[in-house]
Amino acid sequence: MAITIAGIRFEYHDYDERGDTLFLGVSGPSDRLPEDSYDTPEGHFVELDETGSVVAIELMNPRWLLERDGELRITLRERPTVACPSELTRALA
């Protein structure tokens, strides 16, 4: 099941229920380190490849945020985005 956020299709996801952390990757886990990364204003973590494209996102407290707000906000490339709650809910199951 793929998840799309801001037009980026994430084929891989791994949810840690105890830590309420969701890792999304455009492909499976890699041994390669990202070329660059940044923390978003919302407290999430974004990894970029050598071209500056998003290759992975680590979402902090996604279940809690969805339950509290009904949505999850993340700023990608200085562009606020709302992740589709129904797609994220499937990944958190």
SS3 91: helix
- Residuewise pLDDT in 10s, the chain (93 residues): 899 988 899 999 999 999 999 999 998 766 667 889 999 999 999 999 888 889 999 999 999 999 999 999 998 876 556 666 777 777 787
Name which of 13, 6, 14, 12 is nearest 53 in CA terms: 6
State the amino acid at position 20 in one-letter form. Answer: D
